[in-house]
Amino acid sequence: MSFSAFQWLAPKPESSSHPHQDNEKVEWFRCTPFILIHLAAITTIFLFPVTWPCIALAVLSYSVRMFAITAFYHRYFSHRAFQTSRLVQWLGAFAACSAGQRGPLWWAAHHRMHHRHSDTDEDMHSPHRKTFLQSHLFWFMTDYALPTYLKEIPDWLKFPELRFLNRFDWVPVVFLASACYLAGETTWAATHFSATGWQWLTWGFLVPTVLLYHATFSVNSIAHMFGKKRFQTNDESRNNPWLAIITFGEGWHNNHHFFPSSVKQGFRKREIDLTYWILWTMSRVGLVRKLKPVPKWVQEKAQY
């Protein structure tokens, strides 16, 4: 392994072969930026005062990026649950990529493998395969999880801008972190909110990024252990209403595994799916189109 600091900025690898299941050792040094974000978030929340503008900034940063992950990384790139323009496609990918969960093609490729092998020995983030921490966190830090497996995403390889964003996935992360710091250093922010650059970097980037990591990872771990299993699927996916709230609808995980191509994951009226309603609103103004509905037979089955 090269210990050059520049390896973190190098293009992310791509692979045309199938993944090797034996590459499960956690690569702690390679994941140093991921670890440092956690340490920085924990440290800086005690160093800088928390104000209401800070809370609002954290909620905004979390919400925009959670929607981008659930709507674009998951429902669009992984499942093709709706259509959109090339510009909106790229903007959604850029916003989701700023959450530090790697590129859109990487995300879609690994998620498609998860659906095909869910909760079997070939599912690298199943809590029923190894430990909870391996499912929730450590799989993301292994050599297995590093490449983008191109055979899983032939439908997206024709877009050079997505290939670029996927290979240099650190660019949106640095862009957002820098924007938060520089915005906090402006005279306007200091005058109206008594803000500093470090304060807004903490609450606009570091804290919500860590929360995004663990909310998203919880769908891999907690949603395969705790909740109700409405549909009989070939895995242990569960519907968890608490996760559905913090992940904008992704907690209806058993629904999703039963019928993954629908843009809507809350199959009942009271199953809150914020991502779906935002996408529905976007479809009213022409930003997205052809939202794939829940079929009537699935809706009827969901009532039992």
Residue 2 pLDDT greater than 50, yes or no:
no
Q: Is residue 23 part of a domain?
A: no
pLDDT in tens, 132-144: 888 888 888 888 8
Number of domains, the chain: 1
Residue 12 lies in a domain: no
225: three-class secondary structure by DSSP: coil
Instruction: Indicate whether 9 belongs to any domain.
Output: no
CA dihedral 184, 188, 190, 192 (to 10 degrees): -120
Q: Which helix (H) or strand (E) holds 135?
A: helix 132-136
Does residue 117 sit within a domain?
A: yes
pLDDT class of 9 with cuts at 50, 70, 90: low
Q: Would residue 22 count as lying in a domain?
A: no
Q: What are phi and psi of 43, to 5 degrees?
A: -70, -50
Distance CA 250, CA 67 (A): 10
Query: Is 17 contained in some domain?
Result: no
- Give all strands (DSSP E) within the chain, no chain letters: 14-15, 83-84, 148-149, 288-289
Q: How does pLDDT run across 193-248, given as a tens digit for each residue?
A: 989 999 999 999 999 999 999 999 999 999 999 999 999 999 999 999 999 999 99
Q: Largest Cα–Cα distance in the chain? A: 58
Determine the Cα–Cα distance for residues 286 and 263; give it in Å rounded to an integer. Answer: 16
Give the pLDDT confidence score for residue 18 in this predicted structure. Answer: 60
Residues 146, 15: Cα–Cα separation, whole Å? 10
pTM of the model: 0.92
Contact by Cβ (8 Å): 48, 202: yes
- Residue 32 within a domain: no
Assigned domain for 8 exists: no
Which amino acid type is present at position 106? W
Token pair belonging to 187? 């005279």
Is 214 within 8 Å of 208 (Cβ atoms)? no
Give the C-alpha separation, 202 to 177, whole Å: 9
Confidence class of residue 304 from pLDDT cuts 50, 70 and 90? low
> Which residues form the domain of 90?
41-302
What does the pLDDT look like over 291-301, one tens digit per residue?
Answer: 999 999 988 88
